[in-house]
Amino acid sequence: MCESSCVFTRRRSSRSFGRPHRYCLTVVLRLHDTSTRTVREFASIEPGRVGMYVCGATVQGPPHVGHIRSGVAFDIVRRWLAARGYDVTYVRNVTDIDDKILHNAGHEDVPYWVVAMRNERAFSEAYDVLGCLPPTYEPRATGHIPEMVDLMQRLIDAGIGYAANGDVYFDVRAYAEYGSLSGQKVDDMLAADDAEARSKRDPRDFAMWKGAKEGEPSWETPWGPGRPGWHIECSAMARKYLGSTFDIHGGGLDLVFPHHENEIAQSRCVGDDFANYWLHNAWVTTAGEKMSKSLGNSLLVSEVVQRVRPIELRYYLAGAHYRSMLEFSDAMVTDAGQGFQRIEGFLTRAAEVIGDGFDVDADNRHLDFDEAMDDDFNTPQAIAVIHGVVREGNAAIARGDTEMARSRAQSVVAMLDVLGLNPSDWRRGDAGGRLEGAVDALVAVALEQRQAARERKDFASADAIRDQLKAAGIEIEDTTDGPRWSLSNDGGSSDVG
């Protein structure tokens, strides 16, 4: 693990492979902290442990690719911290009550929780299909009203919050550091549009609690019935599950202001240090514009994974640095998928040569991969390292160097595992894996019939079988080790013996 004084490093060799050697240095993991606008060395509050809070979904609708990028980005952050030896407590909330959810529920003429629960399931399915590990805790806003009420009461007692006409507001001028995360001055800010300004001392004050309106769900409080504002939930839930101070807070770039700015203000005004590091992922764009629901259903995760393999979509999302804008199109995902198929192809050929699979062993990771990941989770460089090792492995297979092929394959698998892209994980225990096994068996039968036809010199029948498989989207490659099949549009190769 990378602590403030002792880290793992490796003695560099010509190939940069080998067992880590531990000795005291400065910290090697570096993070870009939005709050300081600098790259900082990471030191956890408690040695060996990391507390991490990521703003999750507001479940007014099903997720598109832009929504799910944050889930993938911070899943990789979490995996790398775990790979470095940390015990990570990962909290990702669900906002299950807000104006948009109420609007959509009204439009459908159903209770708000029908919309919220349906879309929460859709988000969970999207996280699952893209290989994101489940969070340690996934709290819902509506399950933490008492914690919010307690926090608001403390802010009122401190003279920072105030009640007016059933609402509860935060007085932004009472917190001298307000605007520091987003780099703004209060006087330059626009009015907060989360509630009517008539009840506010200052138009920029934001609502922590909204008084009940006819037909809306509400909860009782000392200031009357109502429901949470957007920002109070995360301050309250982060404190409950991670304590008054924790290591990392993450979320999308669009949350810096007002959401994260307001979280900081609420928490620090009751004496909590809150998060030590702030990480923000950039947007997914289409034609240069931020992806939004107005672009239609074709960009929903559930639709995109019908056109491309989920593992290839994850590879595409992981291929850009989390702080870089990522332009989305089917063509770009397909191009990325071809890159991933080259990695899979090497692993398939290596398994044929070696005769077995590859276990995950962190000691097999390439040093340059680790250095890239320690450099603010530089996944583009990390993936470039993987492709470099793949090239070495292919060259080893070509010259018959079995031991080097094994070494390179083991390294590739260890690196892919950190990124959540280990192909064996995606084949085990899920419907896609069972389907692949069934198709593999059926194709094997067809190839046996093809081989039998060739042996009896019935080349017309052999060619017909090949053409029928091609028409079904299955390409056949004849190799010295026997035929290998792959999906012509969306899939990696498979050994058929």
Q: Has residue 142 been placed in a domain? A: yes
Dihedral sign, Cα of residue 420, residue 424, residue 430, residue 431: positive
Q: Has residue 303 been placed in a domain? A: no
Q: Has residue 33 been placed in a domain? A: no
Q: How far is CA 476 from CA 345, 442, 460, 480, in A?
A: 13, 14, 16, 13
Which residue has tokens 């039998």?
452
Q: What is the pLDDT of residue 295?
A: 59
Instruction: State the total domains in the chain.
Output: 2
Q: What is the pLDDT of residue 461?
A: 82
Contact 485, 474 (CB under 8 A): yes
Q: What is the pLDDT of residue 497?
A: 31
Q: Has residue 418 been placed in a domain? A: no
Q: Count other Cβ atoms within 10 Å, centred on residue 363.
A: 12
Q: Has residue 310 been placed in a domain? A: no
Q: Has residue 456 been placed in a domain? A: yes
Q: Has residue 353 been placed in a domain? A: no
Direct distance between the N- and C-terminal alpha carbons of the chain, in angstroms, rounded to an integer: 42
Range of the domain at 182: 44-286
Which CATH number is 58's domain given?
A: 3.40.50.620
Q: What is the pLDDT of residue 26?
A: 40
- Chosen domain end from 231, 262, 286: 286
- Per-residue pLDDT tens listing for the chain (497 residues): 444 334 333 334 334 554 443 333 344 899 999 999 999 999 999 999 999 999 999 999 999 999 999 999 999 999 999 999 999 999 999 999 999 999 999 999 999 999 999 999 999 999 999 999 999 999 999 999 999 999 999 999 999 999 999 999 999 999 999 999 999 999 999 999 887 777 899 999 999 999 999 999 999 999 999 999 999 999 999 999 999 999 999 999 999 999 999 999 999 999 999 999 999 999 999 877 777 655 566 789 999 999 999 999 999 999 999 999 999 999 999 999 999 999 999 999 999 998 877 888 899 999 999 999 999 999 999 999 999 999 999 999 999 999 999 999 999 999 999 999 999 888 754 444 445 556 766 777 778 788 887 888 888 887 888 888 888 878 887 866 678 776 665 443 333 33
Q: What is the pLDDT of residue 395?
A: 98
- Chosen domain end from 286, 309, 325: 286
Exposed, middle or buried: residue 382 (CB in 10 Å: 0-12, 13-18, 19+)?
Answer: buried
Q: Has residue 156 been placed in a domain? A: yes
Q: How far is CA 87 from CA 30, 182, 257, in A?
A: 18, 30, 30
Q: In whole angstroms, what is the distance from residue 473 CA to residue 312 CA?
A: 18
Q: How far is CA 265 from CA 28, 196, 261, in A?
A: 31, 21, 6
Q: What is the pLDDT of residue 198?
A: 73
pTM (two decimals): 0.84
Q: Which own/partner contact pairs does 76-80 have at CB distance under 8 Å and 24+ positions apart?
A: 76/318, 76/322, 76/377, 76/379, 76/418, 76/419, 76/420, 77/52, 77/248, 77/250, 77/279, 77/322, 77/377, 78/52, 78/133, 79/133, 79/418, 79/419, 79/420, 80/373, 80/377, 80/418
Q: In whole angstroms, what is the distance from residue 58 CA to residue 100 CA?
A: 9
- Chosen domain end from 286, 304, 333: 286
